[in-house]
Amino acid sequence: MEVLPALLTGLALGSIYGLIALGFHITASVCGAVNFAQGSSAMLGAVLLWMLTQAGWPVPAAVVIAVTACALYGLIVERAAIRPFLMRKSDAWLMATVALGLVCDNGMMLVFGAEPRSVPSPLAQDAVRVGDIDLAIYPLHLLIPLVMLALAGGIDLFRRRTLHGVAMLAVAQNRDAAAIMGIPVGRVIAAAFGLSSALAGIAGMLVAPLSHVETGMGVTLGLKAFAVAILGGLDNARGVVVAALLFGLVEALVTLGVGSGYTQIVTFMLVIIVLAVRPDGLLGRAKVRKV
């Protein structure tokens, strides 16, 4: 009886990691850089949602504003912590994005305060019932995987069916050739960071009613999402989605089966084993090096 709720909850939490991990995938595939401030983007989305709804904004408007703000934050990350280093062919963007994330977390603490706050939602109040059976999950648990799959599918369609998406793919495949063809490479990379931060912001807003909002909430989310992105294959969106769902399921089932003391041990050992067998992730492709 405990297994089904654990499975559904695991899928929901895996989907949260998946949304953030898709952001890692998008920026890595476009410019080879990973935005380690993704966790702070998730926090920003949740905190802004709380602040706007507290200020009396209706939830739909608050969501739109918060997602837009997260996208703008992504543009700032690209401008301040990525572009200066990519132009000099330096890998210091790694530390710069970590540092910017910490600045954001601590800056928001000054505004929001250190105490966790609640984001109530009608989707996380009454458990879902099927006939006489109480599934012991909230409707939000069912909604989250659907949102993640819809957004992943939408991004896939965007990249294959729209001019801007194709431009993004072109930059991902060969930046110099894309520039020669007239594609504004800088803007495409900036847009990728905006999109990745927006996805993380949505993840933060979705998870907030299931837990609470605090300025440190993005740290663990970002770390697990990065593990998911590596597990699935940074260059493969489908791999990231599959890895996210698997990661969430394994977390929930290990906790249920052998106890929470073993959750992190077993989950991350599995990540290491998978990567030892498939160094480029579950569905990632090995990079071809020309000599």
Partner 1 sequence: MAILVPRRTILAGMIGGAAAALGGCSRSSDRIGVGLITALTAQSAKSGEAISRGITIAIDEINAAGGLLNRKLELIRRDDESSPAKGVIAARELLYKEGVAVLFGGLDTPVARAIVPIATAARTPFVVPWAAGTVITHNGTDPNYVFRVSAVDELVDKAMVAFARRTYAVRRPGLILLNTAWGQSNEKGLKAALAAAGLPLAGSEKFEHSDLDVTPQLGRLRAAGADCLLMVATVGPSAQVVKSLDQMGWDVPIVSHWGPAGGRFSELAGSHANRVKFVQTYSFFGADTPVRARVLAALKAKYPDITGPQDVTPAVGVANAYDAMHLAGLAIAAAGSQDGEAVRRGFIRIGRYEGLIKTYDAPFAHGQDALDEHDYVWAEFDGGRIVPLPLPGTMPSKAA
Answer whether 22's CB lies under 8 Å from 30's CB. no
Site string for partner 1, 13-32 (x = CB under 8 A): x--x----------------
**Binding piece for partner 1, criterion CB under 8 A, among 115-123, 152-160, 162-170, 274-282:** 115-123
Q: Which of 13, 75, 70 is nearest to 45 (CA)?
A: 70
- As to burial, measured by CB atoms within 10 angstroms (0-12 exposed, 13-18 middle, 19+ buried), residue 30 is buried
Nearest approach, Cβ of residue 140 and partner 1 (Å): 10
Identify which of residues 12 and 71 has a Cβ nearer to partner 1 in the complex: 12
SS percent in the chain: helix, strand, coil, step 5: 75, 0, 25
**Binding piece for partner 1, criterion CB under 8 A, among 84-92, 111-119, 170-178, 179-187:** 111-119
Per DSSP, the residues of 261-274 read GGHHHHHHHHHHHH
Using CB under 8 A as the binding rule, whether residue 54 contacts partner 1 is answered as no
Nearest approach, Cβ of residue 97 and partner 1 (Å): 20
Residues 6+ apart with CB under 8 A from 276: none
Q: Binding to partner 1 (CB under 8 A): which residues in 150-179? A: none
Using CB under 8 A as the binding rule, whether residue 207 contacts partner 1 is answered as yes
Range list of β-strands (E), the chain: 129-130, 133-134
Using CB under 8 A as the binding rule, whether residue 200 contacts partner 1 is answered as no
Nearest approach, Cβ of residue 104 and partner 1 (Å): 16
**Binding piece for partner 1, criterion CB under 8 A, among 69-77, 218-226, 237-245, 282-290:** 218-226
Residues 6+ apart with CB under 8 A from 225: 17, 18, 19, 20, 21, 23, 24, 38, 39, 200, 203, 244
Nearest approach, Cβ of residue 83 and partner 1 (Å): 31
How many Å from the N-terminal Cα to the C-terminal Cα in the chain? 57
Range list of β-strands (E), 86-159: 129-130, 133-134
Cα 101 to Cα 42, 43, 157: the distances in Å are 11, 10, 30
Tell which one of 219, 250, 266, 270 touches partner 1 (CB under 8 A): 219
Tell which one of 59, 68, 117, 156 touches partner 1 (CB under 8 A): 117
Using CB under 8 A as the binding rule, whether residue 107 contacts partner 1 is answered as no
Using CB under 8 A as the binding rule, whether residue 118 contacts partner 1 is answered as yes
Give the residues lining the site for partner 1 (CB under 8 A): 2, 5-6, 9, 13, 16, 114-118, 120, 127, 134, 136-138, 207, 210-212, 214, 216-217, 219-221, 252, 255-256, 259-261
